Amino acid sequence: MSHQDQLIGLPGSAGIKDVLRDTSWPQRALLMLALLLPALLAAWFAWYQRAAVIDEAQRTAERSVIALEEHAANVLDTHSLVLHELAGITQGMSWQEITGDARLKQTIAEMTGRFKQVAVIGIADAQGRLRLSSLPGAPNEVSVAGRDFFLAHKQGRAHGIYFSEPYTGRRTGVRYFAVSVPLTSRSGAFDGVIFTAVPLDYFVSFWKQFTPSAGHAIPLMRSDGVLIVRYPAPVGPQRLNPNGPLMAHIHQASRGLYTAVSPVDGIERINAYSQLKSYPLYVGFSVETRLVLGQWRDDVMPAAVMALLAAAALVTLWLMVARQSHHQRQSAARWRDVAGRLEREIARREQAEEAMRQGRKMEAIGQLAGGIAHDFNNLLAAIIGNLQLLRLRLDQGRVDDLARYVGAAESVAAKAGAMTQRLLAFSRQQTLLPKATDVNERIPFVQELIDRSVGPAIRIHTILAPGPCITLCDPNQLESALLNLAINARDAMPGGGQITIATDRTALDSQAATAIGLPPGEYVTISMKDTGTGMPAEVVQRAFDPFFTTKPIGQGTGLGLSMVYGFVTQSGGQVRIESAAGAGTTVTIFLPVHEGEMPVDEAGVKTASPRPDAKTHVLLVDDEETLRHPLTEILTELGYHVIEAVDGPQGLEVLRSPAVVDLLVTDVGLPGPMNGRQLADAGRELRPQLKVLFITGYTDKAGSAGTLPGTGMDIMVKPFSLDEFARKVATMAAAGPKAQGA
């Protein structure tokens, strides 16, 4: 074994034979794969790159020929325009009139001066004598009788516009091709030609920018195969083989792309061609395939080297692995021990990863738990303290002031319920009871609450829009949102100040509505502006985040603005904050305008609660025993006949029985295969007159107030008092006819 083999861990020649003899067929297959895989990958890459390079060359040829076609067509259109204008002027004129017409001579001079691509303009008679020309000297000394364009018109082979073969001007020595039309006498016989000369260099100078190397070529040819001009200049025949590939494609289509070997020089080229409008002329663009593939080879060569190196590395790696495997089989016991340790390490890492994932979950809910723990612990401590004092007074027989402890516990429980509503509000999952609300009518009532909340050091100023500002929202939640904004404004003005509450109606166009995340339309706006300390931009960006607060610990939950945001967005609107440090804050609420009728305002109207009807039969379905029993007890004390059920299937069994049920009271979120909404739907199919009261603490579309199908259904949001529950049941029981058994 050489010193180099020892350094890289490879066996010597004898060692390699031993390793190969000791390897299994799968290992030998792996060796073949190590050799073939890089080669296959390199071959695929080379094929893919070759196709990409060819495709790009073809697209370049097509783009180039379009530009060349447009340029050449513009040149020929200019010549055609000149010829037709001169033909119109000379129509019906005799040769004496033509040669003596100063206006005609002036027109010819102006045209050659105006158009660089029109090098020569000439008019020749039926004998080919040049009677008028833009060239200096006596025209009669020159004859075009031998030019192919003259012969084509004289012999009747060309009746319209004709494009000649290239020729050398006798006076200028410049290479041209002519564009000509015939002149006819008044009797219709051939009487001469009008022609213009196009300098070949005019095309060549433009074409040079499209041929960056000698491997490119641009030809302009007639449909009969005559090569008019080519760049670079041709070294072969001036007429294309009619059986060649280009002429064959021209006969099939006026524009095309093909790759073929030239019959002239045997070089394969990528060719694009196109006819020039309706002229019998074609322009082409070609590039040698070898030139295109030269770049491809330059790109593929590094990949081939990398593939070779990869194959060598894989084979080396295989030999190292095979040798190691050979040694492993000689020391199996040691490796089994290593494998055992490895398995234990994998298990340990999996446990660590699982612990890390669990930690991330806990981190995700940590902000929520930390935000509500302080407030809820205070509320629970207050409830437990009052209940324990109540038990102590009962044990002592002191019943005089029990109502004080009960009232305190109820008050704290109500605060806990309000906090759950605030949590649902910022998550946009609270149960709203929307109705048409005139914001202008609500502001005075809210102002009284704000006055009592912010104190005498802060002035309240209102600016109400003229006319009604009606929107569809929960009026109680609207008042709560405005009160939250006012309290935030108060905290931003510790030394006093002013709060301005303004209402308005505004129409948002598409641009303005998109900027604030709303559809275009008309909106009611409520803005609350304070003269406080304001907020920097980074605080404004996080103002609606739940539990985000800049107040000291214990002085704010961070739910106020979150609740406002949740209520407004759930009502179809948006909230925007404008503020800057030291410049005060303006919070603007956008709510869609409601065009429906306003309901009769029954606020403050004292109506007697309906008297419980002892004949009313109530089916109460709730899986929570601690709630179901007090509800049953209060209904029983009021004289109702109550049937209890713990879930949807049990309640449905009662509805299918002959038992009389006038009112179904059900929780929305029942466990098992049937929720409260499904139970109500099934019950109404069995008993169409069945009245339903939903009770819920967490709502979704199955039980929200906005999705109740019609009369005979209502909803109460937990928590509620037993008095409120009793009044709601009495109201629903008193409405409509009594139901019968199934």
Q: Which residue's entry shows tokens 């499904």? A: 678
Are residues 438 and 581 part of one domain?
yes
Specify if 49 maps to a domain: no
pLDDT score at 34 = 65
Are residues 449 and 514 part of one domain?
yes
Are residues 461 and 376 part of one domain?
no
Q: Which residue's entry shows tokens 């004898």? A: 14
pLDDT score at 281 = 93
Contact 286, 60 (CB under 8 A): no
Percent of the chain exceeding pLDDT 90 equals 20
Are residues 506 and 385 part of one domain?
no
**Which one of 354-363, 488-497, 675-684 scores highest in mean pLDDT?**
675-684
Q: Nearest 10 degrees: CA dihedral of 67, 70, 75, 80?
A: 160
Residue 435 has pLDDT above 80, yes or no: yes
pLDDT digits (tens, 9 = 90+) for 371-422: 455 556 556 665 776 676 677 668 777 777 677 767 766 666 766 665 665 5
Contact 618, 662 (CB under 8 A): yes
Name the pLDDT band for 322 (thresholds 50, 70, 90). Answer: low
Contact 405, 384 (CB under 8 A): no
Are residues 120 and 145 part of one domain?
yes
Residue 308 has pLDDT above 80, yes or no: no
Are residues 466 and 418 part of one domain?
no
Look at phi and psi of residue 609 and say left if phi exceeds 0, alpha if psi is from -120 to 50, else beta. beta
Residue 8 has pLDDT above 70, yes or no: no
Q: Among 276, 134, 254, which Cα is nearest to 194's?
A: 134
Residue 628 has pLDDT above 80, yes or no: yes
Range of the domain at 222: 55-290
Count CB atoms within 10 A of the CB of residue 354: 10
pLDDT score at 11 = 43
Specify if 176 maps to a domain: yes
Please state the domain count of the chain. 4
Calculate mean pLDDT across residues 658-668: 92
Name the pLDDT band for 586 (thresholds 50, 70, 90). Answer: very high
Lowest mean pLDDT among 42-51, 178-187, 288-297, 542-551: 542-551
Contact 188, 197 (CB under 8 A): no
Specify if 19 maps to a domain: no
Name the pLDDT band for 185 (thresholds 50, 70, 90). Answer: confident
Helix (H) or strand (E) holding 133: strand 130-133
Q: Which residues pair with 220 in a beta bridge?
A: 229, 283
Q: Which of 426, 441, 471 is the last residue of a domain?
A: 426
Residue 79, domain CATH:
3.30.450.20
pLDDT score at 587 = 92
pLDDT score at 471 = 92
Are residues 586 and 621 part of one domain?
no
Specify if 225 maps to a domain: yes
Are residues 196 and 126 part of one domain?
yes
319 vs 659 pLDDT, higher one: 659
pLDDT score at 50 = 78
102 vs 417 pLDDT, higher one: 102
Residue 605 has pLDDT above 60, yes or no: no
Calculate mean pLDDT across residues 266-271: 85
Both tokens of residue 355? 């612990």
Cβ neighbors of 437 (< 8 A, separation 6 or more) are: 470, 471, 472, 473, 475, 478, 594
Are residues 266 and 167 part of one domain?
yes
Q: Which of 241, 256, 290 is the last residue of a domain?
A: 290
Name the pLDDT band for 6 (thresholds 50, 70, 90). Answer: very low
Percent of the chain exceeding pLDDT 70 equals 73
Contact 713, 691 (CB under 8 A): yes
Helix (H) or strand (E) holding 342: helix 332-396
pLDDT score at 650 = 93
Exposed, middle or buried: residue 570 (CB in 10 Å: 0-12, 13-18, 19+)?
buried
Specify if 310 maps to a domain: no
The Cβ-side half-sphere exposure at 553, using a 13 Å CA radius, reads 4
pLDDT score at 259 = 87
SS3 of residue 7 by DSSP: helix
SS3 of residue 2 by DSSP: coil
Residue 525 has pLDDT above 90, yes or no: yes
Residue 607 has pLDDT above 60, yes or no: no
Name the pLDDT band for 283 (thresholds 50, 70, 90). Answer: very high
Are residues 101 and 246 part of one domain?
yes
Q: Could you tell me the pTM of the whole model?
A: 0.41
Q: Which residue's entry shows tokens 């004859």? A: 143
pLDDT score at 56 = 85
pLDDT score at 701 = 42
Residue 248 has pLDDT above 70, yes or no: yes
Q: For residues 664 and 689, what is the distance between their CA atoms, to the nearest angstrom?
A: 11
Lowest mean pLDDT among 38-42, 156-160, 326-330: 326-330
pLDDT score at 646 = 92
pLDDT digits (tens, 9 = 90+) for 695-729: 987 544 444 444 555 578 888 887 778 888 889 99
End-to-end Cα separation, the chain, in angstroms: 98
Residue 108 has pLDDT above 90, yes or no: no
Helix (H) or strand (E) holding 422: helix 402-426
pLDDT score at 124 = 92
Residue 571, domain CATH:
3.30.565.10
pLDDT score at 642 = 94
Are residues 371 and 505 part of one domain?
no
Q: For residues 452 and 448, what is the distance between their CA atoms, to the nearest angstrom?
A: 6
Specify if 300 maps to a domain: no
Contact 143, 128 (CB under 8 A): yes
Calculate mean pLDDT across residues 18-47: 70
Cis peptide before 136 (omega within 30 of 0): no
pLDDT digits (tens, 9 = 90+) for 217-235: 889 999 888 889 988 887 6
Specify if 302 maps to a domain: no
Specify if 66 maps to a domain: yes
Are residues 361 and 388 part of one domain?
yes
Q: Which of 558, 592, 626 is the last residue of a domain?
A: 592
Lowest mean pLDDT among 77-81, 375-379, 522-526, 726-730: 375-379
Give rounded-to-5 percent helix, strand, coil for the chain. Answer: 50, 20, 30
Name the pLDDT band for 545 (thresholds 50, 70, 90). Answer: low
Contact 44, 307 (CB under 8 A): no
Name the pLDDT band for 483 (thresholds 50, 70, 90). Answer: confident
> How much is the mean pLDDT over the chain?
78
Calculate mean pLDDT across residues 533-552: 70
Helix (H) or strand (E) holding 198: strand 190-199
Exposed, middle or buried: residue 345 (CB in 10 Å: 0-12, 13-18, 19+)?
exposed
